[in-house]
Structure 1
Amino acid sequence: MKRRDFLTGAAVTGVAAASATFATPAIAQGKQEWRMVTTWPKNFPGMGVGANRLAQRITEMSDGRLTVRVYSAGELVPALQTFDAVIEGSAEMSHGSAYYWHGKSRAASFFSGVPFGMTSNEFSAWIRYLGGQEIWDEVYDQFGVKAFLCGQTGTQAGGWFRRELSSVNDIKGMKFRTPGLGGQVWERLGATVVNLAGGEIFQALQSGALDAAEFVGPYNDLALGFHQVAKNYYFPSFIEPGLAFELTVSKSKFTALPKDLQTIVEIACQAEYEQMTADFYSHDPQALRTLVEKHGVKIHQFPEDIIEAGAKASADLLRELREGGDALTKKTADSYATSLALVRERTQNVDMAYLAAREKFFNGLS
């Protein structure tokens, strides 16, 4: 997929219409049409396609009783205003990631990706079985919305850098696009951090407004064309070890739905969570080969002192949120930390031990 195919009309957020231009959802003979606004460019690999697929699942599973129409970033609202659109009633659903809304609640970032935090499987365990969803509901209740997990990237790439990194000193003064708690960690390492929607990053890199940027990983980054302006690609991300996506819905409108339609929305989100994860795991390595073999991208791991400094900054930040945050942020951070201490036991004792054995003794079947 070419970058221009899904960026057309999406990067210019000024095209967002005023509230008077929003169509009224259709309600006839027990059928409803809901609007889903997304933070992603049109037809964007992984997330944008996943939003379309989720809308189709809900529409088909409900036999058209709840039809979902998708609006990509900039079609109805700017990419980073989709959450507000649901709060204000301009849309019934939004598709994005919770750390974009940390300005509304510092607790929100815990429901997307936490520096040196949970992997995708660990995060899912927290949300579904260790009280995460209940706390998420409490955080979003104050805005009149409810969220469901609807996708995962797994551990992301660390980012694109114009210059090769030799030590943590190279971070100082760097203009770096990265959001959420991770952005705050990079700030503590000396970077000047900005948050831009996906469709705006390439132009900022190209113009020199950014020295570095991270977004997701090879599957998305190839499509966005970052390799055209930066050749140093770092792995892995230590600020987004398991980045989750959310479907946010108006709570009042959701609870007004018949119970079977509520269940359809929830089950469709669960199905999409699994499918999007598989999408990334299958397409990331293919895209990485293309970046290296066809575009001359250089793959690096972060210098150890950057990882060490990032770990210390992450621990300090999370400790501050637990000790000095508002009551709901503290409650969220406490639950997250307690759950991480539990689920990482399985990861370390089982998953990591197996992966170490496979790496050492098994070369594959080819």
Structure 2
Amino acid sequence: MSDALKHKKSVSRRDLLAGGAVGSASVLSAPAVMAQGAVTEWKLVTSWPKNLPGPGVTAQRIADQVALLSGGAFKIRLFAAGELVPALGVFDAVSNGTAEMAHTASFFWQGKIPASVYFTAVPFGLLPHEHISWIEQGGGQALWDELYAPFGIKPVMAGNTGVQMGGWYKKPLQSLDDLRGLKIRMPGLGGEVMRRLGAAPVGLPPGELFQALQTGVLDATEFLGPWSDRAMGFQKAARYYYSPGFHEPNGTGEALFNQAAYDALPTEFQAILIEACRAENGRALAESDWENAGSLKLLQQKDGVEVLPYPEDILEALRVTTGEVLLDTSRQDPMSNRIYQSHQAALKRLSPWSDIAMRRFLSARDGFV
């Protein structure tokens, strides 16, 4: 190889690394922007206490990944619940531009957007892998985008806390009569199911749940799974921990982007942001499953918590009432009906495969471990 050719190859490598090679600007514009001293800065508000195991960790990790993948040219500063806006004020904050981004859960917006609950979890609905399949393959993302478009918000999946537990109860459940008058925190459609069975759902943000349970404002509360729940201290205020989490068979977190701010980003930054959220879906789910298993053991063996199944008569009432609630929700407006129909079609398509692939395997695995 001639000296001139060696020199030419060396220069090309230097230029590529600097982001200045001819023809590479579109691929390496983030380092180029950084080289020019320009840094894009966003504010991220969350519905979670700072560094809460599960969703709080996810939110910070997304911000860190965006900074890393952009070479420091795109920085996102995280504000936990209450630091910039209240926990349940993050949707409006992103809509009005107070913050460019939020990390939260869609069922918090049920009061203003009834069908939003479908994008976190539906009682007796899709499991985490099924939900992801619906969003990415079954048309769910397009419906979600359309649902939030009037508010100037783009939503995406951003982490998953997995299959949830049914909740913490101060007294054991013997029959349906025990639900009557029960003050329980259960957001989303699950809360409406409980209301129709005689309970009294109470809407509270995550950061207020422990004190409410401890002081008697609540008789019961659900949140996530053993890892996050134990970190919240619920085992100090209630002894009975019920499953299954009929109301939340899936735990998708959502990232909200101010649409105008997102559209103004370079395409490379948009891709980094989307892929950081997408990667977190798998990472957070793996983390939650691992940590939930360890925390469940601690709750039972160290904290003296009784992990109990819902009585069958309660489960049957929950199933029947869920069907009624879903139908009523679908009739509220045309968009809600479209989302309901899409979700039910996904459930009908995916359930038989999950039954054969997962339920039979789990049954076959009994006694092996």
Normalising by the residue count of structure 1, what TM-score does the alignment of the two structures yield? 0.90
Cα deviation 1:55-108 (Å, max 9, x = unaligned): 000111111221000000110011111111101110000000000011121110
Q: How far off its partner does 1:46 sit?
A: 1.1
Which residue in the other structure is 2:354 paired with? 347
Cα RMSD over matched residues? 1.0
How many correspondences in the alignment?
334
Corresponding residue SS for 2:163: coil
For residue 29 of structure 1, report the CA deviation from its aligned partner.
4.3
Equivalent residue in structure 1 for 2:136, among 128, 139, 142: 128
The equivalences for 1:59-138 within 5 A come to 59-138=67-146
CA distance in 1, matches of 2:67, 2:182: 45
| Aligned-partner residue type, residue 126 of structure 1 | W
TM-score normalised by L of structure 2: 0.89
Distance 2:99 2:272 in 1: 19
Q: What's 1:333 paired with? A: 340
**Which stretch shifts more, 129-138 or 340-349?**
340-349
Alpha-carbon offset, residue 321 of structure 1: 2.2
Is residue 210 of structure 2 the alignment partner of residue 168 of structure 1? no
Query: The residue matched to 1:103 in structure 2 has which SS?
Result: coil
The secondary structure found in structure 2 opposite 1:248 is strand
**Shift of the alpha carbon at 1:30?**
3.5
CA offset at residue 142 of structure 1? 1.1
Separation in structure 2 between the aligned mates of residue 127 and residue 79 of structure 1, nearest angstrom: 25
Structure 2 CA distance for aligned equivalents of residues 188 and 116 of structure 1: 16
Deviating more after overlay: 249-258 vs 28-37: 28-37
**Which amino acid counterpart does residue 241 of structure 2 have in structure 1?**
Y
Gaps in structure 2 of 5+ consecutive residues: 1-35
Instruction: In structure 2, give the amino acid aligned to 1:56.
Output: D
1:241 pairs with one of 249, 254, 258? 249
Other-structure match for 1:15: none
Question: In 2, Cα distance between the equivalents of 1:42 and 1:350?
Answer: 38
Q: Distance in 1 between matches of 2:62 and 2:189?
A: 27
Q: Which residue in the other structure is 1:272 paired with?
A: 280
- CA distance in structure 1 between the aligned counterparts of 2:115 and 2:263, rounded to whole angstroms: 24
* CA distance in structure 1 between the partners assigned to 2:56 and 2:161 by the alignment: 13
The higher radius of gyration belongs to: 2
Q: For 1:67, what is the secondary structure of its paired residue? A: strand
In structure 1, how many angstroms separate the alpha carbons of the residues matched to 2:110 and 2:132? 20
Amino acid at match of 2:244: P
Partner letter of residue 351 of structure 2? R
Deviation at 1:145, TM superposition (A): 0.3
In structure 2, how many angstroms separate the alpha carbons of the residues matched to 1:354 and 1:325?
Answer: 39
Q: Is 2:299 aligned against 1:291? A: yes
Percent of residue pairs identical: 41
Q: Following superposition of structure 1 onto structure 2, how do residues 212-251 of structure 1 map, counting pairs within 5 Å?
A: 212-251=220-259
What secondary structure sits across from 2:227 in the alignment? helix
How far apart are the structure 1 equivalents of 2:156 and 2:92? Answer: 17
Matched with 2:14 is none
Q: Any gaps of 5 or more consecutive residues in structure 1? A: 1-27
Distance in 2 (CA, whole Å) between partners of 1:107 and 1:180 is 10
User: 3-state DSSP class of the match of 1:142?
Assistant: helix
Aligned-partner SS, 2:302: helix
Please state if 1:358 is matched with 2:365. yes
In 2, Cα distance between the equivalents of 1:277 and 1:139?
25
Post-superposition offset of 1:245 = 0.3
> d(CA) in 2 for partners of 1:290 and 1:315?
36
Letter in 2 for 1:138: E
Deviations 1:40-63 (A, max 9, x none): 001110111111000000111111
**What is the CA distance between 1:181 and its match in structure 2?**
0.8
1:192 and 2:197 correspond: no
> How far off is 1:345 after superposition?
1.6
Q: For residue 58 of structure 2, what is the aligned residue in structure 1?
A: 50
Give secondary structure in 1 for the equivalent of 2:290: helix
Q: C-alpha distance in 1, partners of 2:131/2:43?
A: 28
Partner of 2:271 in structure 1? 263
Letter in 2 for 1:119: L
